[in-house]
Amino acid sequence: MGRYVARRLLQMIPVFIGTTLLIFLMVYALPGDPVRGLFGDKAGSPQVIAALRHQYGLDQPILVQYWHYMRDMILHADFGTQIASGRPVTDVLGDAFPVTLRLASLAFVIEVVVGIGLGIMAGMRAGRLTDNVVLLISLLLISVPVFVLGFILKVVFAFQLNWLPPNVNDSTNYNELLMPAIVLAAASLAYVTRLTRTSVAENLRADYIRTAIAKGLPKRRVVGVHLMRNSLIPVITYLGTDIGALMGGAVVTEGLFNIQGIGLTIYQSIVRREGTTLVGLVTILVLIYLVANLLVDLLYAVLDPRIRYA
């Protein structure tokens, strides 16, 4: 087990270098540059631009830039400076991260509770009306794009019914975060529902469920202990990888509801061609992804004793 974790942690190093380098190169390949962006429509004097480019190290070859960036990040925990605001990227991250974390957590809770709940309901009644209705709803949630769903919810719940505020002004207010969290959770929720449903329906026919019934166990124990322990294994795998997707996939949702989180910051950084900010944000997301995946794999062994890591 210890060796397995160590090996997985070591594997993170090449993934980490690969993703950061890739982002760096991709931003470099985009036309335009952040210093010119500072001047807007006006053309700045070539001397000033050159000076600024030198100050941010943008005049050096891309691999040298990358090397300096990684060196500062690893040795000094310095993620560079956001060119547009002149603030350290760590500050920008510090502002945006908790907002996204709150949004993603709320979405995750909705996804788990509603998704698994609906999945169990449908799976226990596979092939019957409840099952078909749930499958239809999940199909709808998967096929409707996020911005359409967000817009519909806004129109209905914010403007017509006046139940929820249309935008997020205070990101610590969970009431305001509820609607964006639902929008963010929608597609994943549908996948969780379908995955749970299939797993439950399949395990319900398993021999050990018949044994559990033959033992005279009450139904809630047959379902709650014997069925669930087996059915939720694939669902938990999906949920683990989805944590990362919820954190990073909020670009559209955060834009739609004006949430100053990581998604919006990423979008703005792309528009301004700010490689340093972008790499910092993506690095964090990559790390979250990797750690979440590792935790899921470890949890897997706890849930299913047939899996042993060596």
- Contacts to another protein by CB under 8 A: 206-208, 210-218, 221, 225-226, 229-230, 233, 303-306
Taking the C-alpha atoms of residue 64 and residue 282, their distance in angstroms, rounded to an integer, is 20
What is the residue type of 198?
T
Q: Which is nearer to another protein, 62 or 233 (CB)?
A: 233
Q: Which is nearer to another protein, 2 or 305 (CB)?
A: 305
Q: Which is nearer to another protein, 155 or 213 (CB)?
A: 213
Alpha helix segments (H runs only) across the chain = 2-29, 34-38, 46-55, 62-76, 89-110, 116-124, 129-143, 146-153, 174-204, 207-214, 219-221, 228-248, 251-256, 262-271, 275-303
Please state, as a whole number, how many other Cβ atoms lie within 10 Å of the Cβ of residue 196.
Answer: 25
How far is residue 242 CA from its own chain's centroid?
6
Alpha helix segments (H runs only) across 30-124 = 34-38, 46-55, 62-76, 89-110, 116-124
Q: Which is nearer to another protein, 7 or 210 (CB)?
A: 210
- Which three-class secondary structure state does DSSP give residue 43? coil
Q: How far is the CB of 5 from another protein (least distance, A)?
A: 22
Q: How far is the CB of 304 from another protein (least distance, A)?
A: 6
Q: How far is the CB of 187 from another protein (least distance, A)?
A: 29
Q: How far is the CB of 309 from another protein (least distance, A)?
A: 16
Q: How far is the CB of 221 from another protein (least distance, A)?
A: 7
Q: How far is the CB of 206 from another protein (least distance, A)?
A: 7
As given in the structure block, the two tokens for residue 185 are 């959770």
Q: How far is the CB of 305 from another protein (least distance, A)?
A: 4
How far is residue 296 CA from its own chain's centroid?
15
Q: Which is nearer to another protein, 52 or 232 (CB)?
A: 232
Q: Which residues, other chains included, contact 231 with Cβ-Cβ below 8 Å and sequence gap of 6+?
A: 120, 123, 196, 199, 200, 202, 203
Q: Which is nearer to another protein, 7 or 215 (CB)?
A: 215
Q: Tokens 């480019």 label which residue?
A: 53
Q: How far is the CB of 20 from another protein (least distance, A)?
A: 39
Q: Which is nearer to another protein, 48 or 225 (CB)?
A: 225
| Whether the Cβ atoms of residue 120 and residue 200 lie closer than 8 Å to each other | yes
Q: Which is nearer to another protein, 133 or 233 (CB)?
A: 233
Taking the C-alpha atoms of residue 56 and residue 53, their distance in angstroms, rounded to an integer, is 5
